[in-house]
Structure 1
Amino acid sequence: MRRMVRFEALDAWRGICALLVVLFHFCFIFASPLMDARLVANAYLFVDFFFVLSGFVVSHAYRDRLHDAESWVGFVIRRFGRLWPLHAALLAAFVAFVGLANLLPHPDRLALSWGPGEYSAVAIPLHLMLLNAVNLHGMAWNAPSWSIGAEFYTYLFFGAVCLLARGRLALVAGVIALACVVLLACVSPTYMNSTADFGLFRCMAGFFTGVVAYHVHERLAQAPMRPSVTGTLVEGVTVALVVLFVVKAGRGPDAVAAISLGAPAVFAAAVLVFAREAGQVSRLLRGAPFAALGRWSYSIYMGHQIVLMVAVYGVWLANRRFGFGREIEVMIEGHAKTLYDLGGVVPSFALLAVILGVVIALAAFTYSRIEEPARRAFNGYARRREDRIGRAQAPASRA
């Protein structure tokens, strides 16, 4: 049986990318000099790193365990338990926060509605069913969770492909990934910034590219690589190339270039390099601080939006009472954006530091109190179910 490996450096990159997504969302709510940094303005692309890495590690963990309908059900139970409990808990927190805010004076952006809108009651059941990336409603509630809905249904599809493709999984995965990229090129006006509209296809493009990358990694891993100067150089060049790609992929989320469609391939190359852990960059990433960020990455990604919205409400109240944090309208690549101007670089970065600290602290809490208990509970249920089925089949096989 193939030995399960923990890709520690890749886990750390997941945490770093989650923090970059936090910076991206901060800059489109609060005026900040970071808005001028193209790496931050295009940081929505790091969601595609999550998708590629997910395809890579899920292939590693489950490809050889999916052999019939029963194993597919067990896989779905485990992946549902990995994603849905935290999503549901944070959605409930969002509903409670916005509902309470609507009983008090509140900014227009936090207004509840019964139709279209960011905080629409209609969107709640869609989010609970993880149907938030198939163009049934625009971005709503915990906006980053569109990717979780897309990923869950991609898991279901991956399991089915494993059962049907058998020994041709890499080929089929490559065809699926390429087809999804072509589809996005043809129908998505924002290319790789597709979210609640064509987000499912964006996820599948990245995930199945990750599946192909895992098969390539298997071949490369037959020749062990020790940490070396060459490995460090390769890792450094890889980081530089990823940064260059993200910087050149557009001018923010409303001016996305067609080159952004190359994100799955670029991130797959980075995953292949850092899966080998052959350089000093990987050694640094395996350190305790980065390892913690990797563990908390899902909670960082899922929990940061509610922290940002609480900050919005606080700044809005401060403006009403003290005149601090006025709303301004700025044009970004021809698109009007309403931002909160905190009055300078120092207060902007001070607020960002507070938000990052709260996001990380909240992530540590939700990881230990929601993510891990739920994962263990669902994994335990799936294991007990498989044991019952195994015991029931044993007499029949002996007969």
Structure 2
Amino acid sequence: MHAAATGERFEVLDSWRGVCAVMVVVYHFIFIVNTPFMQNEFIFNSYLFVDFFFVLSGFVVCHAYRDRIGDRRQFAGFLLRRVGRLWPLHLAILFAMMLGVMAINVAGHHPERLLIDARSGNYSLQALLLNAVLLNSMGLYGSAWNGPAWSIGAEFYTYLLFALVVLVARRKLLLVSSALAAAAAAIIVVFAPAYMNSTADFGYIRCIAGFFTGVGAYHLHAALRGRPLPFATLLELASLALATAFIVAAGRGPDKAHALSVLAPLAFAVPILVFAREGGLASRLMRLAPLQALGRWSFSIYLIHMPVLVLAVSYGLWAYGDVAGVNLRHQVVIDGVGKQLYDIGAAGAGIVLALVVALVVALAALSFRLIEVPWRDRFARLARAQEKPASLLPSTRTTPRYGAPVPVRIKRR
């Protein structure tokens, strides 16, 4: 049976995607503003929530497309849909961030870290081009511009790999996916210096590990579909406890990730499999309207939050300190690693964090309506046209060759 024909929507998993996106916002905030959260190992290791996105992406994409990519037309249609899902919003946010950083540079008074350069630094023209074409996770440049967007580039090229595997080896999809996930994890263990905190260097390999683990998880879900899930609430709580314990044990922040962090895709596959059944009390909670909204806006939340943190929080605090004649940025040593953070007190940090989350969510709701949905629909229409069989396409008239008889209409009396 067609995978998407089952009617499954995975609304609960979408809500979890929104919650994880907000956790990523909090994670990046604590590396700009000094907060007590820096001592919380769960938040300190929240970079791992990106792996949740990868596993969930593999799960839902396999559900929707493993039986829908059978020829070159369907292959092209799938890629058009993926481009429409990722690229327009990524490009819009990148362009907005470019304008913001350019305005700061034109003003001529800013911290050195916001300087635009041709080939080096966080805001180079070379990095801008690589980010625009989604080549920001291939080891060609370090993290730059909208740093978290490395995962968007990684996902796009992983989608391409998935489509090729389905087109060539659909009957062996589970076997090939398992091999790809295992090989990617092995490469990260052997070669990646930061293990699962790999971003612009081994980010593509990290995405392959998570995405194809999600493909394997979906096969297990499909095999168990229709069977009752006993003790659903207990299993939901246990899967969350397992994921939480793993995040805490996976290292001491991004600078001291353990090799254990490479198991993140497997750790997240468990709650994804459990919550995909939507059978317990926790699932009912995740169906609440505000959480469902966060799920819808999660992609926008993820892409928008770093420009807000850079342009509003980091530059804003620097500008305030510059005008007031005080230095708010100090070195904070965390487990022997120095971090340059703004210190505005625990209460001030809490207030700013709440304002940031509210602003990011509001902007995400707006961009979802104005950018995500319209462009997704445009590319979906292009994909549907591309996927039509040749026999259903309108025939084209051919021009007679030179010397061929030309039909003449004779008016009968």
Common fold by TM > 0.5? yes
1:143 aligns with 2:144: no
User: Which residue in the other structure is 2:117 paired with?
Assistant: 113
Equivalent-residue separation in structure 2 for 1:140 and 1:288 (angstroms)? 35
By how many angstroms is 1:337 displaced? 1.3
**Cα gap change, 1:276/1:325 in structure 2, threshold over 3 Å: closer, same or farther?**
farther
Contact (CA 8 Å) 2:32, 2:342: kept in 1 or not? Answer: yes
Q: Of 97, 110, 128, which residue of structure 1 is paired with 2:132? A: 128
Describe the SS at the equivalent of 2:58: helix
Amino acid at match of 1:85: P
Q: CA RMSD in A?
A: 1.5
User: Which residue in the other structure is 2:198 paired with?
Assistant: 194
Describe the SS at the equivalent of 1:115: coil
User: Which residue in the other structure is 1:71 paired with?
Assistant: 74
Contact (CA 8 Å) 2:66, 2:166: kept in 1 or not? Answer: yes
Amino acid at match of 1:41: F
1:3 aligns with 2:6: yes
Query: Deviations along 1:228-261, whole A, 9 cap, x unmatched?
Result: 7x21111111111111100110000000001101
By how many angstroms is 1:293 displaced? 0.4
Describe the SS at the equivalent of 1:337: strand
User: Which residue in the other structure is 1:235 paired with?
Assistant: 236
Kindly name which structure, 1 or 2, has the bigger radius of gyration based on alpha carbons: 2
The percentage of counterpart residues that share the same residue type is 49
Unaligned 5+ runs, structure 1:
none
Amino acid at match of 1:274: F
TM-score normalised by length of structure 1: 0.95
1:51 aligns with 2:54: yes
Equivalent-residue separation in structure 2 for 1:34 and 1:183 (angstroms)? 32
Please list, as runs of the form range in 1=range in 2, the aligned pairs for 1:228-377 lying within 5 A after superposition: 230-310=231-311, 311-323=313-325, 326-342=328-344, 344-377=345-378
Query: Deviations along 1:44-65, whole A, 9 cap, x unmatched?
Result: 0000000000000000001000
Equivalent-residue separation in structure 2 for 1:191 and 1:242 (angstroms)? 18
By how many angstroms is 1:323 displaced? 4.5
User: Which residue in the other structure is 2:404 paired with?
Assistant: none
Contact (CA 8 Å) 1:51, 1:210: kept in 2 or not? Answer: yes
Describe the SS at the equivalent of 1:15: helix
Contact (CA 8 Å) 2:158, 2:208: kept in 1 or not? Answer: yes
- 31-40 or 331-340: bigger deviation: 331-340
Equivalent-residue separation in structure 2 for 1:147 and 1:273 (angstroms)? 25
1:176 aligns with 2:177: no
By how many angstroms is 1:319 displaced? 0.5
Q: Of 71, 83, 89, which residue of structure 2 is paired with 1:80? A: 83
By how many angstroms is 1:368 displaced? 0.5
Equivalent-residue separation in structure 2 for 1:13 and 1:269 (angstroms)? 13
By how many angstroms is 1:274 displaced? 0.4
Please list, as runs of the form range in 1=range in 2, the aligned pairs for 1:18-57 lying within 5 A after superposition: 18-57=21-60
Contact (CA 8 Å) 1:231, 1:279: kept in 2 or not? Answer: yes
Query: Deviations along 1:355-375, whole A, 9 cap, x unmatched?
Result: 001000010011000000010
1:158 aligns with 2:162: yes
Unaligned 5+ runs, structure 2:
397-413
Describe the SS at the equivalent of 2:341: strand
Equivalent-residue separation in structure 1 for 2:384 and 2:390 (angstroms)? 10
Describe the SS at the equivalent of 1:360: helix
Paired residues, number? 391
Query: Deviations along 1:30-85, whole A, 9 cap, x unmatched?
Result: 10111111111100000000000000000000100011111111100000100000
Equivalent-residue separation in structure 1 for 2:182 and 2:60 (angstroms)? 20
Amino acid at match of 2:24: V
**Cα gap change, 1:279/1:394 in structure 2, threshold over 3 Å: closer, same or farther?**
farther
By how many angstroms is 1:389 displaced? 3.3
Amino acid at match of 2:297: W
Contact (CA 8 Å) 1:254, 1:333: kept in 2 or not? Answer: no
**Cα gap change, 1:393/1:182 in structure 2, threshold over 3 Å: closer, same or farther?**
farther
By how many angstroms is 1:28 displaced? 0.5
Contact (CA 8 Å) 2:74, 2:386: kept in 1 or not? Answer: no
Contact (CA 8 Å) 1:315, 1:325: kept in 2 or not? Answer: no
By how many angstroms is 1:127 displaced? 0.9
Contact (CA 8 Å) 2:139, 2:200: kept in 1 or not? Answer: yes
Contact (CA 8 Å) 1:118, 1:141: kept in 2 or not? Answer: yes
Amino acid at match of 1:78: R
Contact (CA 8 Å) 2:235, 2:274: kept in 1 or not? Answer: yes
Describe the SS at the equivalent of 1:363: helix
Amino acid at match of 1:232: T
Equivalent-residue separation in structure 2 for 1:87 and 1:376 (angstroms)? 16
By how many angstroms is 1:312 displaced? 1.1
